[in-house]
Structure 1
Amino acid sequence: MSDIFTEVDEGIRQEKLGSLWKKWRPFVYGGVAALIIGVAVNEFVLAPQAEARREARALALENGIRALEDARYAEAEEAFTKIMNEDAKLAPLAAHFLAQTKYEGGGDSAGAAELLASVGGVEGGPYERLALLKSAYFKADELNLADLETTLGSLVTDDSTVGALARELVAAKAYEAGDFARARTEYNRLRLDAYAPQGLVRRAEIALAAIPVQTGTEEATEAAPAETAPAEPQETGQ
């Protein structure tokens, strides 16, 4: 008897499932078809289009660089600006060249600095950190030492070549401000900086040879020769 009931229950369940399947089958088929169509569109339409756009931007960047090298500044600016407006991965790199175009083509150091500051930042990638450094270079003549350090922020402690270059800028600014002790301290650190390229180390050595050592400083004390008492005349035999 229990077997009969089991078979009846199973039949009812199958009938219900069959009814549900008939009801929802068009939606299931439609969903599967939409998924297949979406994958096909992405694979055969969108992906090639995206690749074509990337290739077009790369070509535009190359053409812009060539125009910049040939002093065709208006053409270069147009190419770099277009890449930046598309907000692509090449945008930070295009910003560097656009800033160079503004500076070389029209002497617009303020515009170049503002442009680089808009894309620069310590938290970004190497292009963003380099943009921040370049922006500080453009503004260095207008800033005092404290403001320059504020502009650079934590970039001066960044463990990278860009960070070492930022520290060199601070050292140069200290020298310009007449703070020879600070300048010598910074250049001495750069001589031993693991992230400083050889050219930077050499510049630091040249600067140290040119910057006077201030009297009364620890460095001056260490550099000064030790004083010795005058030798007493020897007695000569009678």
Structure 2
Amino acid sequence: MSELFDEVDEEVRREQLKKLWDKYSLYIIAAAVLIVAAVGAWRGYQYLEAQKAAEASAAFEAAIELADQNKNAEAEAAFDKIATTAPSGYRILARLRAAGEAAARDPKAGAKMYDELAADRSIGAELQELARVRAAGLLVDTDSYPNMLQRLEAATKPDATFRHTARELLALSAWRANDTTAARQWLDMIAGDGETPSALRQRAEALQALLPPVAKS
């Protein structure tokens, strides 16, 4: 008797499934087609992005070779092209390299390009700070100490990534401006930071030796 009930239940389930299929089969098939199409589109997108990345990598390597051969104008043009056509990561790197190549022929032009990067929030705070420090490095021999201070003071904070270089540039700028008080302030900050790189610490000590002794009260 139980087997008979089982057969009846099975027949009922089949009938219910058939009714559901008849009612919703078009929707099920359409959903399956959409899923297959979406997966195919995503795979195609991934392939195209991989192709773009490979092309950008090859172009970037070629531009670096031009730079290594001291073909600065050609390298700058190549990096500029990458900066406008490549995926976002390569665009940022290319802009940084293009600024470096421009600096080799014209420091002010290079500094201007770095300043543009420093003002671009889309590249991230750390790269903005790097660009700001590099621009200041190009201008340290020509710009005034107040201008250098305005450029770099925020980058000298204890948690700033490029604080060591920023402090050294400000110390050098103050020394060139004969502002021994400010120069000593930055040199003392360099000496008091346990994470200051040894080579930079040595340069700071050499600059400290050039300063006049502190007047005794």
- TM-score (ref. length: structure 1): 0.73
Distance change (3 Å), C-alpha of 1:130 and 1:152: same
What is aligned with 2:9? none
Unaligned runs of 5+ in 2: 1-11
- Residues 30-67 of structure 1 deviation map (CA, whole Å, 9 limit, x = unaligned): 23211222112322x22122112112212211111110
Deviation at 1:129, TM superposition (A): 2.0
Deviation at 1:73, TM superposition (A): 2.5
User: Does the aligned pair in 2 maintain the 1:180–1:213 contact within 8 Å?
Assistant: no
Determine if the alignment matches structure 1 residue 55 to structure 2 residue 57: no
What is aligned with 2:45? 46
Distance change (3 Å), C-alpha of 1:160 and 1:181: same
Distance change (3 Å), C-alpha of 1:22 and 1:139: farther
For 2:84, the aligned partner's letter is N
SS of residue in 1 equivalent to 2:150: helix
In the alignment, the residues of structure 1 paired with residue 99 and residue 55 of structure 2 have an alpha-carbon distance, to the nearest angstrom, of: 21
What is aligned with 1:97? 97
Which 4+ residue blocks in structure 1 deviate beyond 4 angstroms?
21-24
For 1:81, the aligned partner's letter is D
Larger radius of gyration: 1
In the alignment, the residues of structure 2 paired with residue 212 and residue 122 of structure 1 have an alpha-carbon distance, to the nearest angstrom, of: 41
Greater relative CO, 1 or 2 (CA 8 Å, sep 6+)? 2
In the alignment, the residues of structure 1 paired with residue 194 and residue 212 of structure 2 have an alpha-carbon distance, to the nearest angstrom, of: 25
1:2-17 matches, cutoff 5 A: none
For 2:114, the aligned partner's letter is L
CA RMSD, aligned part only? 2.7
What is aligned with 2:112? 114
**Percent identity of equivalent pairs:** 22
Distance change (3 Å), C-alpha of 1:204 and 1:193: same
In the alignment, the residues of structure 1 paired with residue 59 and residue 174 of structure 2 have an alpha-carbon distance, to the nearest angstrom, of: 41
In the alignment, the residues of structure 2 paired with residue 25 and residue 149 of structure 1 have an alpha-carbon distance, to the nearest angstrom, of: 72
SS of residue in 2 equivalent to 1:202: helix
For 2:162, the aligned partner's letter is V
| Structure (1/2) with the larger helix percentage | 2
Distance change (3 Å), C-alpha of 1:144 and 1:170: same
- Residues 213-235 of structure 1 deviation map (CA, whole Å, 9 limit, x = unaligned): 242xxxx46xxxxxxxxxxxxxx
Deviation at 1:114, TM superposition (A): 1.5
- TM-score (ref. length: structure 2): 0.79
Unaligned runs of 5+ in 1: 1-10, 222-238
User: Does the aligned pair in 2 maintain the 1:121–1:131 contact within 8 Å?
Assistant: no
Count of residue pairs brought into register by the alignment: 200
User: Does the aligned pair in 2 maintain the 1:96–1:116 contact within 8 Å?
Assistant: yes
Deviation at 1:161, TM superposition (A): 5.0
User: Does the aligned pair in 1 maintain the 2:83–2:92 contact within 8 Å?
Assistant: yes
SS of residue in 2 equivalent to 1:159: coil
